[in-house]
Each structure stands twice: as C-alpha cells, then as structure tokens.
Amino acid sequence: MTAIERTRYNFGTKDKCFDIISRIIELQESLRHKIIPQHVHGHKDRLTNQFTVPEQLNIEMDSKANKFVSEAIRQEFIPPIQLPEANYGIPIISIQQEGVTSRLEPSLCQFAAHEDAKQWWIKTGRVNAQTWDAINWTTVKQTLSTTTFARKRFIIKWVTNTHPTGMRMKMMRMRESPICPRCLQAEESLSHVIRCPHAHNTRIWQRSLRTFDSKLRRIGTDPDIIRAFTLALLQWRLQDPNQQTLPVHVNNYVLDACKTQNEIGWTQFITGLWSIKWAECQQRYYKYTKKRNSGQRWSSKASSYLWDAIQLHWNHRNSFMYRSETTDDAIGNEELLFACQLELDFGPLDLDEVLHGYFDTDIDTLEDERTQDIIAWFSTIRRAREESGFVYHNHDRISASPRRRDGLRMDPRYRKDTSST
C-alpha cells in the first residue's frame, strides 16, 4: 500500500527499502491505467464462503504467500541483501561490492565509520579481532533502537565506562579513594557494581536471576538455553577468572553456543555482546515447537532483560552514594529492608521477652507488608535494641533521613557516618 501511494515526488533515498519501492513506482508509472488502492478485509474465508473478486484474490495471494514462506523455512532459504541490477528504478549504490538497500544517509555513515569503530572497540579491550564476526551486532542494534532515550544513554555510558564509579572518579581526581561505598572492601568498577558482596546487593542479584528466568520462559525460550544462562551468570558473579561455561544435559547447538560465548566473554554477554549462535539455537527451538517467532527478536528481548538487572544494581549503588530529601522514600525503602534483615540476623539476643514474637517472620514476608507496617516493626525493634545499649557498627546504622522518617532518635552516635563514603 505504501509503495502504491508513493510517487517520485514524495519519495527519496531517506525512506526505507527505497530500492524496492523505487522500482514499484517506475513500473506503476509505465502502466496506461491508474492504480487506485482498495481496502479488502482479510481472513474472510474464516467467516463465509461467499467472496467478492478482490476478497477472493486476497485469499489466493495470502495462501501463496504462506506456502512460499513455509517452503523458504523448510529449505533454510537466505534472502539476498539487494535486488539484482535493472535498468529502471533508482540506481543502487554499491560500496565494496555490497549494495545499499536501506536508508542511504545512515548506510553511508555506517560504511564510512565501521572500520574505525571496530578498531576503537578492539583497542579498548571490549572485543577482539578474532571474535568480532561471531558477535550478533543485530541484537545490539535492535536493543538500542527499541529502548527509551534514558536507557540508551545509560547503556552507552556503561559500555564506554563513563559512569562515575570509584575507580573512574579516582582517575579523574574527584575522589580520594576508589573503594566501593557498600562493601568498603574492593575497588569499585562497573563489574564490581553487580558483583559487590553487600548483603542487599546479593539479594537484588538473586531476585534479578529469578526475574530473568521467568521472563525467558514467558517468551518461550529453549529450556537448554535457560539452563546455560543460569549456570553462566552464577559462575560469572563468583569472579572465576577462567570461566568456561559448559553445561551438561543440553543439546549440541546450545553447547556450541556456550563455547563461542566463552571466547567472546561472559562480561560482554551481560552487556549485550551475544554470540550469533544463541539466536540460531532459539530459532531451531521455535521451528521444533512450530512457532513462527523470530530467534533474532528473542535475542534482542532477552538482552534488554539483562540491562534491566544491571540498572537495578546501579540504582541500588547510587542509593548509598547520593542521598537527598527528594530521593528519601526510594532510598529509605531499600535501606529499611536491609536494616530489617540485619535485625532478623541478630535475633532477640537480650531484648525483652515480649518482643521475641516479632522474630517469627522472615524478610520475604516483611517485604510483602505495607510500608508503614514494615516501619512499625523495624522502629520497635531498633529503638528497643538501642535503648538496651547494643552497639551497632557504622555500616549497620541508619542514615539521617530514614531515621527521621522511621521515628528513631537522631543522636549522632546512632546515625551512620556517610562522610567516609
């Protein structure tokens, strides 16, 4: 319909598929009659056996198209990247014997900058020349093109290592120490933001894995792929320097994809650099389950799910770095749950026996309660423990804003000293 309605006066190389549409326009102009588009309701054969001529032609065309697609899938047909040469339509521009069939301007920019971008990524160490062609760059492109502007900016800053981590701020001489503000043990890199052993960060990681698993199952992922992903992510967080993910009891295609991803790297996998073979494995599974979904589209969705988890960890890290009144509620809730888990770990100890019943719960049950009920539980236990003379270490204390919200005493000896972070 788009091609029929276009003319050479409102169509150019900035449009998608200009090579195909330009030929349709010129063929249309060569006709002696004018083509007038007519809307025809589809799938009428499911409702009645009486058709108009346009409806009958539409049904025949749809049937032939389905047969063509089925045969192409059966024979694993790969469509050509460009139309063959012809003496009509807009001429096809070729660069290094590869035709430009998409929008001309961005295509030219891509051809011109491709090699420079490749060498820059190799120089920065994110990829290497041997695995460049094994990476599914279409997944990267689709993930970025289908996300929001804010998420796109977050991803770009992450992969270019420009987020203000401890190591980067120390390098820029804007901080004296690169130590992680949560665990106070290791230098804070982007990788450490996810791997940080802080108790609450570990809970976020476990929750992220469960969420990632459920989302993959929801989009019909091959169970063997889910098994491989789970094993790889668990090993990656353990910081195994020689990580080689080779799961057992999976099909050979998934095992081969794991081997290729081992060469690319699992840190790169988490940040969107997936092996081409993952999409191929999922496409085979879709074909086996007789689904017409796209393995490439699946790859883009699954990659975006991992970025959800990464941003969750980054937001939690920021809650320890940048506290203000405007972010008090969001930050306070995270700190509140962490403090509740701490109190549960301490147990009743020397508290009055009347308070022992408060510990007949767990953190998951508390998290499902209303915020005011969680605050009431925590403030009761923390106030009683502080009045009993129990000594909290600085990293176990609660900072000023959440203490004020939870109704706790504001004496300096009870508040967390955030100047060291």
Give the pLDDT score at 57.
84
| Secondary structure E strands in 259-401 | none
Q: How far is it, in rounded angstroms, from Cα 201 to Cα 214?
A: 20
DSSP H/E element including 213: helix 199-218
> How many CB atoms are located within 10 Å of the residue 356 CB?
11
DSSP string, 288-328: HTT----HHHHHHHHHHHHHHHHHHHHHHHHHHH---GGGH
Q: How far is it, in rounded angstroms, from Cα 11 to Cα 40?
A: 25
> How many CB atoms are located within 10 Å of the residue 121 CB?
18
Q: Structure pTM?
A: 0.61
Give the pLDDT score at 129.
85
Give the pLDDT score at 226.
93
pLDDT in 10s for each residue of the chain, 421 residues: 566 777 777 776 667 777 778 788 888 888 887 787 778 877 766 666 777 888 888 888 888 888 888 888 888 777 766 666 666 666 666 666 666 666 667 777 777 777 888 888 888 888 888 888 899 999 998 999 888 998 999 999 999 999 999 898 888 888 788 888 888 888 899 999 999 988 888 888 988 999 999 999 999 999 999 999 999 998 898 876 566 778 888 899 999 999 999 999 899 999 999 999 999 999 999 999 988 889 999 999 999 999 999 999 998 888 777 654 333 454 457 778 888 888 888 888 888 888 888 888 888 888 888 888 888 898 889 888 888 888 888 777 887 777 777 778 888 777 777 554 4
DSSP H/E element including 264: helix 252-264
Q: Which of 252, 236, 145 is nearest to 191 (CA)?
A: 236
Give the pLDDT score at 53.
83
Three-state SS at 116:
helix
> How many CB atoms are located within 10 Å of the residue 63 CB?
11
CA distances 295 to 147, 223, 282, Å, are 19, 14, 5
